[in-house]
């Protein structure tokens, strides 16, 4: 009897975990599309990918501004001393020039919060 209760409780917890995992995977999938449309022209995101106009973004979450070897960052980016996390990326992706005045990233920003959330979910998978 108690075993059965324990088993069904486990099933509920497992179900909830799978559901949130699936939601995150969906966000990341939508975010990959945003990346292809808005960022890929200037950034690669595969491990060891080449520099384009911007630095490679593999593993960008948890990295400090200006830390890709060999990429010629602006002084503004190098001196920004920001660690990229979902919390710091959201305002940056909404308006890069507001967060790092003087950045050479020629990108106006993603106005839709939903696009930024999905994109960040995708960036989190690329590590």
Point out which residues bind ligand HEC (CB under 6 A): 38-39, 41-43, 53-55, 57, 60, 65-68, 73-74, 76-77, 84, 93, 103-107, 110, 119
Rounded Cα distance, 61 and 78, in Å: 16
Distances (CA, A) of 10 to 19, 20, 81: 14, 16, 44
| Rounded distance between C-alpha atoms, residue 97 and residue 108, angstroms | 8
Least distance to ligand HEC, CB of residue 89, Å = 6
CB of 23 to ligand HEC, least distance (A): 21
State the nearest-atom distance from the C-beta of 9 to ligand HEC, in Å.
40
Compare residues 21 and 86 and give the one whose CB is closer to ligand HEC. Answer: 86
* Distance, C-alpha 106 to centroid of its chain: 18
């Amino acid at each position: 009897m108690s075993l059965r209760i324990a088993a069904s409780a486990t099933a509920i917890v497992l179900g909830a975990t799978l559901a949130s995992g699936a939601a995150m995977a969906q966000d990341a999938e939508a975010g990959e599309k945003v990346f292809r449309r808005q960022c890929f022209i200037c950034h690669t995101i595969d491990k060891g990918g080449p520099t384009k106009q911007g630095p490679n973004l593999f593993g960008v979450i948890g990295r400090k501004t200006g830390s890709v070897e060999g990429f010629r960052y602006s002084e503004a980016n190098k001196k920004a001393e920001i660690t990229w996390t979902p919390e710091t990326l959201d305002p940056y992706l909404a308006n890069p020039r507001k967060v790092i005045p003087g950045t050479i990233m020629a990108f106006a920003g993603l106005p839709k919060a939903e696009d930024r959330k999905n994109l960040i979910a995708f960036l989190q998978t690329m590590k």
